[in-house]
Amino acid sequence: MAEVHVIGQIMGATGFSESSLLCKWGVHTGPGFVSPWAAWKLLSGVREGQTQVDTPQIGDMAYWSHPIDLHFATKGLQGWPRLHLQVWSQDSFGRCQLAGYGFCHVPSSPGTHQLDCPTWRPLGSWREQLARAFVGGGPQLLHGDAIYSGADRYRLHTTSGGTVHLELSLLLRHFDRYGVEC
């Protein structure tokens, strides 16, 4: 079986209007349904997590430096891992408000990659937008899989949020044995 190591960091985020930000991240592999023939298997590492809440003092980039260390074994290329992110902002009372959803595919070529993942959030009706501006809150996705799958996206009306910056290094093993070029 071929192996993939993803080692890197969620470095931080820029371009969000709110300042105290945190990021919930997760890795999704394989098809959207649970399958006994799933090609990807996570051998070591945690599949999801949540970063600290950072309030930047210099500049506008919130820094998380959250380490990611994943070890996958795979029998196929279908369902290459996708990293999905939810950026939330926290106010001084400890309440969290959604700032953006985003996803990016884990790079497929070995080496170190700088990734910039743009984010979006659901817009809602004008009433909800007004409420969000004054009181906070706002629409959120009920099921997180709309972040990384294209299935029901046509129903959504969204606006853009900031950008999440990641640095991921890929280590591939035995891909050449199976004739895969990357």
Number of C-alpha atoms within 13 angstroms, CB side, residue 34? 0
Options 27-35, 53-61, 98-106, 116-124: segment touching another protein (CB under 8 A): 53-61
- Pick 52 or 129: Cβ nearer another protein: 52
Stretches 48-56, 76-84, 121-129, 132-140: which one binds another protein (CB under 8 A)? 48-56
Least distance between another protein and beta carbon 143 (Å): 21
> What is the secondary structure of 17-51 as a DSSP string?
S-SSEEEEEEEE-S-SS--TT-SEEEEES-SEEE-
CA 139 to CA 124: how far, in whole Å?
6
Burial of 175 (0-12, 13-18, 19+ CB in 10 A): middle
By CB under 8 A, residue 80 contacts another protein: no
User: Looking at 67, 75, 105, 159, which residue binds another protein (CB under 8 A)?
Assistant: 67
Q: Does 120 bind another protein (CB under 8 A)?
A: no
Contacts to another protein from residues 123-142, by CB under 8 A:
none
